[in-house]
A and B are shown apart, each in its own frame.
Chain A
């Protein structure tokens, strides 16, 4: 699924204006607020769905090669986090949906879970 399709599916706001971000292919999804759970159980290169907006969400994303982060419940990280994400060319999205609803729609839309094998 393309990132642009996810934006459309969930009515997301794109927090960064990264060229070509919408064409990124997303092959799986992992959702958690605890970053140790992401590190322990997440597969390679997913969309990360989280309510955690601090800098650790970005560093965790870097460690497991996340392709994009989706912040739920209308959350948006601060300017420092946005600047770091821009420097790393990591797309950040925000949706007003809850984590449950966002994940439900993504799964129904055909995006599978990304878990460590």
Chain B
């Protein structure tokens, strides 16, 4: 088991557009303080921002657990909400169930999950329709 250098959990509330992005920017600051390479911080931050907005748009609430070791940064975003019935379809760039309000907020382009997948080194989606979705992703830093 890798020894964590840093670990913190954040609550994200569904529908909270006014604060959407604050968790991702907070984690970015922490990563800077930890001295993680800027290009790796950027990749992680893109994944975090998309994951945070996904919770705000589609779930009731979630816990985002962020853990840094000497080898990697590991994030688990476990939400309670509607879940995803067809994960493969949801991973298709451009496919979206976003409402007009979500698009007016600048999201819902159908790029959320693909952006996360393309920004990290490991990515996994587990979902139970009607229960919720858990995203797990890793950015290697060593």
Binding site for B on A (CB under 8 A): 33-37, 39-40, 44, 50, 52, 54-60, 62-65
Q: Which residue of A lies closest to B46 (CB)?
A: A39
Check B20 against A56 for contact (C-beta < 8 Å).
yes
* Residues from chain A with Cβ under 8 Å of B106 in the complex: 33-36, 50, 52, 54, 56-57, 60
- Give the contacts of B97-142 with A (CB-CB under 8 A): 103, 105-112, 114-115, 118
Can you report 9 residue pairs joining A to B where beta carbons are below 8 Å apart?
A36-B109, A36-B111, A37-B109, A55-B20, A59-B21, A59-B24, A62-B25, A64-B42, A65-B42
Across the interface, A60 reaches (CB within 8 A) one of B21, B108, B111, B112, namely B21
Q: Which residue of A lies closest to B38 (CB)?
A: A65
Q: How far is the CB of B102 from chain A (nearest CB, A)?
A: 10
Cβ-based interface call for B71 (8 A): no
| Per-residue A-contact encoding for B9-46, CB less than 8 Å = 1, 0 else | 00000000110111011001000000000100010011
Binding site for A on B (CB under 8 A): 17-18, 20-22, 24-25, 28, 38, 42, 45-46, 49-50, 53, 103, 105-112, 114-115, 118
Check B109 against A63 for contact (C-beta < 8 Å).
no
Bound: A31/B42 CA distance, A: 19
Q: Which residue of B lies closest to A54 (CB)?
A: B105
Q: How far is the CB of A24 from chain B (nearest CB, A)?
A: 18
